[in-house]
Chains A and B, each alone.
Chain A
């Protein structure tokens, strides 16, 4: 009974905002176009959050650490992409062929940079503390988050930077019943889905993926079975970093700006997504990403974007307090 209330209570909570504004739209305009626009933007934004949330969930699943610096890994991915466009000379006037090649090169570089920084952090700051009390690595993670933010300040300054709008992300591609779908929306979703499929195939099918799942279940037993636990954990950080780098590039194309603080906001949204889906659960993280994207868009558009962090944090507190295992997650050890 309590299980029923907590699960459907969460679903009701998540539906509260869209339903409320849907009814308001119907009574004001007589149609749902505005809500539909919000949801389309929310889903494409959510695709980016899903990629970042996967990094949180992978790491938590394997070493039960909230990788607080993960948002900053995403930010550095975005910064790297911007730097690559400058280096490759990509501008709005670059032709389609050059643009595709240039973007693919930037994608590879951004993914590589983010992944190597993530692996480096694990090696320097988390591995020495693996047998220490659990809060110690969390504190170093917070410390690294601040270090990387300030690396961002040194790199591109403390204010927001506009980025060339390479793909004209706001241009309408097609229109369904008054709801406009822009190039950016299509790009975000089209780039995310293959990455998520690749990741799930890798974890579900490959030998290394099997080693990851074994380590997540029981590191000691995995070690006894001949799995190199340290390498497996490094691999997890590598995968999380790759996805965060890709998300950074997509976000830069989509939002056409970069900012050192974007990682903190993204980190909080993506972490909320991971918790919402049930931390440690890959499908949950993707689902959570899409849901939180919609909530964020509705809040940005209706309540005002200066309030969005407060709205997301309120959801985070409610979920963590009343349903720490999330929508489809298993009971975590935290739920106690």
Chain B
């Protein structure tokens, strides 16, 4: 026992679990065939982990409820749709190619290397985040939620009706309800071109790398001056301002950093799906991500990772492959019920939101500070404490 306690006190002890998890995650593809449904779900889970971590920065750390997070997915994916497909066919004669493979060189339209796209998506989404954040500066709480929701819907509408809008002389903003497809496969320097039709492993490792970077940013920022300013803002805006926290700068960086992470994940998501489908840019997408954050625990980095993995598997494996097939489906048909669980998936996520907020608002793996705030910070208990 003493030996165990000594081990737990060691400086490196806190790294054991994360390092094991990362190594296990990195080795996972070797235990699965290269083209595998489970690996596909894992890649989706990683994408949603990154998105949920981005939203967690805005909602969990800074306490700004953003109901329009889908806008950043839309921007990130559209960056891929515009600059890595034949969407702008005829542009510049044979097209414009920057750092792409010889096969892609022969395609018309604009084709830019994936790494440059990621950087572009990050910059665009950071800017978009700050712009969306601007009108909410004067507002508090629920009005922020509605304004961000409105922006998310406006962006979605523009993409869905984008075939009616022309940009740069003759080109449509998007393909409207039709997807922009096909989108170039990812092509990283020093590696062979990826091919999602043959081998999912490179995609998995790329996204795992992105998630690790996002996690690192989250962990470092949480304990930085900026992260502590966000938490101060979340807990009491007036007190934070009077302690010298610059409100405008702090709020806008929360939107910008959170948005940039969403754009990064959205950019990869678009490239991985091989198409940019404007029908996905819906309010429901924002709510799915929000449900992941709430399930895991607002402000809790490891909780959000867990919540995102859990809900991705519920959405992409449990519902379509388990509940809508086999024994459960037979039972449902025997009972005379004709619906499928896929149809009502968003009802299930709504239920997760309600259940968590009422039963366990601190989430599955709560952040310690948040838990104290939720259980003791209410007005009544402060009042009682004074008596």
Using CB atoms and an 8 Å cutoff, list the residues of chain A in contact with chain B: 64-66, 124-125, 128-129, 131-140, 142-147, 149-151, 153-154, 158, 264, 268, 271, 304, 306-307, 309-310, 313-314, 316-317, 320-321, 324, 334-336
Contact = CB atoms under 8 A, between A and B. Distances in A.
A117 B160 CA distance: 34
B171 interface: no
B150 to A, nearest CB: 4
B151 A317 contact: yes
Interface stretch (B102-110, B225-233, B320-328, B340-348): B340-348
Contact of B140 (A145, A146, A310, A336): A336
A228 to B, nearest CB: 18
B142 A324 contact: no
A334 B67 CA distance: 18
Given A153-B339, A264-B283, A140 B153 contact: no
A313 B152 CA distance: 10
A139 B353 CA distance: 7
A145 B379 CA distance: 28
B354 A310 contact: no
A125 B350 CA distance: 12
Given A131-B378, A135-B142, A146-B284, 7 more contacts: A132-B357, A132-B361, A143-B357, A149-B350, A320-B143, A320-B147, A321-B136
A271 B100 CA distance: 48
Contacts of B344: 150, 153-154
B135 interface: yes
Contacts of A307: 157, 161
- The secondary structure that dominates the A interface is helix
Nearest to A220: B379
Nearest 10 CB-CB pairings of A with B: A150-B347, A146-B350, A143-B353, A143-B354, A310-B157, A321-B135, A313-B150, A150-B344, A143-B350, A147-B350
Nearest to A312: B150
Contacts of A271: 146
Contacts of A64: 142
A125 B354 CA distance: 7
Most chain B CB atoms below 10 A, which of A145, A150, A154, A304 = A150
- The secondary structure that dominates the B interface is helix
By size class, the interface of chain B is 35 or more
Nearest to A322: B135
A207 B305 CA distance: 52
Contact of A138 (B142, B346, B374): B142
Contacts of B157: 306-307, 309-310, 313
Interface in B348-387: 348-354, 357-358, 361, 373-374, 377-380
A139 B291 CA distance: 9
B374 A133 contact: yes
A314 B154 contact: yes
A124 B354 CA distance: 9
A150 B153 contact: no
B211 interface: no
Contact of B141 (A134, A140, A146): A134
B207 interface: no
B145 A135 contact: yes
A103 B188 CA distance: 66
A131 B380 contact: yes
Contact of A142 (B135, B140, B353): B353
Given A143-B357, A306-B161, A314-B154, A324 B143 contact: yes
A186 B343 CA distance: 38
B287 interface: yes
